[in-house]
Amino acid sequence: MGVLERLRKEWFILGIVLVIAVARLEPTVGVKGGPLKPEITITYIAVSAIFFNSGLSLKTEELTSALMHVKLHLFVQIFTLVFFPTAIWLFLQLLSITPINEWLLKGLQTVGCMPPPVSSAVILTKAVGGNEAAAIFNSAFGSFLGIVITPLLLLLFLGSSSSVPFTSIFSQLFMTVVVPLIIGQIVRRYIKDWLERKKPPFGAISSCVLLMIIYTTFCDTFANPNIDLDKFSLIIIVFIIFSVQMSFMFLTFLFSTRDNSSFTPADTVAIIFCSTHKSLTLGIPMLKIVFAGYEHLSLISVPLLIYHPAQILLGSLLVPTIKSWMVSRQKAQKLTRQPKAPVKV
């Protein structure tokens, strides 16, 4: 199965999960105390499993080789963790006067504060043929930065309950994200030959665990009888999410293709996806930690739950167009670099 086919399949499955959850088919299965026991399986096991899986699949040598591309890394991380949340905050100041549900708007702000994902940006960059090593490095490095920066951004833009100290946030995220990732990298060193030979389905494993996280979160959201989610606000939020993604992808394209940018077409591909994608894997557990006991946590989580499948859908649809641009740009650059034949007199 090709990369694009896997992406479309993942998006289709995510859509099914969303429909099932919204339709409230057995929503109590995924809420606290239900058969899935998400308070244990999701909080402590599922997230750790995803990052352990990432540690096994990420090639250490590729991350090391991409380390020296400092300008690209700075661009991606500053755009993702500084420009993105600030731009969303300014945009929400205008939307605050509209009748859109205020907690869904706050949820949009949480989306802006999230780090890049480990999987989707890398898969899409690889599908286009872009700088995969840079995408891997920035996705992983962004997740590390997000452990510290994202909670601070959430506290800055939204505030939180004073009962959740930063040390508690950091320690739990460190144990469920950093430690499993490091252990995965260590284990990879000892079974590298076996992994290269057998090629385990790392993507499928992560997708299954991620689907479980998405499902239980949707159940927790829509099983709440007091949830005040009107259709108008939800439709507008979906439209805004797609508009924001398209606008930011175009903006990163413009910035990275300027004459003085020094980025190659392959670099631009990695920048487009890594700068505009947001992590659901890290985001949902982080929201549950930072806003533990928050009355409107369910509504705040909805935009992030929509953003993830939306970025996969948009990315998979745009892959042929971006790939065509990259190939033509690379050919044009090769032609301009070829020395001209001397003119015979």
Q: Would you state the pLDDT for residue 85? A: 94
**Greater pLDDT, 98 or 85:** 85
pLDDT digits (tens, 9 = 90+) for 275-302: 999 987 778 777 877 776 677 777 888 8
Among residues 255, 160, 187, the alpha carbon closest in space to that of 51 is found at: 187
**Exposure class string for 243-277: b at 16+ Cβ within 10 A, else e:** ebbeebbebbbebbbeeebebbbbbbbbbbbbbbb
| 96 band by pLDDT with thresholds 50, 70 and 90 | confident
Q: Which residue has the tokens 């394209």?
A: 253
Would you give the DSSP letter of residue 181?
H
In this predicted structure, which of 105-109, 119-123, 329-333 has the lowest mean pLDDT?
119-123
The string over 22-47, giving b where at least 16 C-beta atoms fall within 10 Å of a residue's C-beta and e elsewhere, is: eeeeebeebbbebebebeebbbeebb
Taking the C-alpha atoms of residue 320 and residue 322, their distance in angstroms, rounded to an integer, is 6
Residue percentage of the chain with pLDDT more than 70:
66
Q: Are 298 and 107 in contact (CB under 8 A)?
A: no
Reference 150, options 131, 177, 184; nearest CA is 177
CA distances from 224 to 31, 46, 174, 238 (A): 10, 23, 30, 21
Highest mean pLDDT of the ranges 64-68, 166-170, 257-261: 257-261
pLDDT given for residue 86 in this prediction: 94
Rounded Cα gap, residues 203 and 211, in angstroms: 12
**Helix 120-128 crosses helix 132-157 at what angle (to 10 degrees)?**
150
Q: What pLDDT, on a 0 to 100 scale, did the predictor assign at position 344? A: 54
End-to-end Cα separation, the chain, in angstroms = 58
pTM: 0.72
Q: Are 278 and 117 in contact (CB under 8 A)?
A: yes
CB 219 within 8 A of CB 28: yes
Name the pLDDT band for 24 (thresholds 50, 70, 90). Answer: very low
Band of pLDDT at residue 42, cut at 50, 70 and 90: low
**Quick one: average pLDDT of 60-78?**
77
Residue 333: burial class (beta carbons within 10 Å; 0-12, 13-18, 19+): exposed
The pLDDT of 73-81, averaged and rounded, is 92
pLDDT band at 79 (very low <50, low <70, confident <90, very high): very high
Question: How far apart (Å, rounded) are the C-alpha atoms in residues 71 and 63?
Answer: 15
Taking the C-alpha atoms of residue 26 and residue 14, their distance in angstroms, rounded to an integer, is: 17
31 against 112, higher pLDDT: 112
- In the chain the domains, ranked by start, together with CATH numbers, are 3-329 (1.20.1530.20)
- For 221-268, what is each residue's pLDDT tens digit? 566 555 666 788 888 999 999 999 999 999 999 998 887 878 888 899
Residues 6 or more apart whose Cβ sits within 8 Å of residue 173: 147, 151, 282, 285, 286, 289
Closest CA to 218 of 314, 147, 309, 154: 309
- Give phi and psi for 159, each to the nearest 5: 75, 175
More confident residue, 102 or 61: 102
> What is the C-alpha radius of gyration for the chain, rounded to an integer number of angstroms?
21
Check residue 132 and give its pLDDT: 80
